[in-house]
Structure 1
């Protein structure tokens, strides 16, 4: 894929995910916290910090594990990369599922089109992630078909995690503010640690345009049409 187009696409996904983290996750978490306990800041702040540190901690552990491998052992590094992408897809899938579950419950601030845009943003940024998994495997001698399917499987955890997120949202209402804010923190951490650095590395202006446009699209859909 053309690098400029890839950076624009990743920037757009980052903008959508930043906006969705607030309007689809944090805002409903705050409203629901007020309704359930009258506490608008402690639960959401705790969940947000836990979600962010969960992703950051996972990245640190996997990075240390990767650095312990010898430079010639590329297959092990490919396995670690696949594991890293797969693990950080789990909170993304749960965030989407929780967003749809909250929309189904009719929680104020949670809408179906907001959840759809969140899914779109996550889906867009999964394209380069799949390539990042498949290409090293191909380089290490795996067949094209095997590289392709391993790349696909790294994202297969998202619909599973999404289903769990929906079930969680529909059955454990009192824990929803914490779950929503946890998902928001995880999403912001993914954007800051993965999408922003990667997309801004080669084409800062184009990536910035993508972020602004993605944020604006999500904001318009959620605020104007909500």
Structure 2
């Protein structure tokens, strides 16, 4: 009984570590999106400089998870909790990377005249942030229904990204002066769409932890 209580405490510690990393990754995404939409170079630089902390937390979580797997040899839901946590950790690190990529676009665009207001870009950023917030809440609450909602929102992010691409291509054909800025904006939209994809991955991992079902490539069904 004492051994089981000790292991349960380790699983709780694992979740706390994942959530600590999640908070930093989510903050980085929010800051990067704001920097990108508002051409805020100072905020973009803050995101870039903070990425090392997220990377260090990933290393710590990797080591912690491997120890749990090697020493405690968990089964069933405990094993899924550890493996699913590892999957989420990988995606949280990638979210940090995408935030940095988006911040670099913000840094560049901050040195150029602002592009016209683009409601679709704002909506894509809002959608990606909402998906990430819901995915993390689903993990905390072990809420499979909410995880499914995140998956279904991914189509909206994809459609917005395509619409933004088409709009900028059309604008660049008629106005050559915005080509350079337009290309960076298109790439920025791709980073936002990728953030939505990674949020979907987190949601899939939550379903795996709770139900033992692999939702890879089938999350929207």
TM-score range, shorter chain: 0.3 to 0.5
- Looking at CA atoms only, which structure, 1 or 2, has the larger radius of gyration? 2
Q: TM-score normalised to the size of structure 2?
A: 0.38
Q: TM-score normalised to the size of structure 1?
A: 0.37
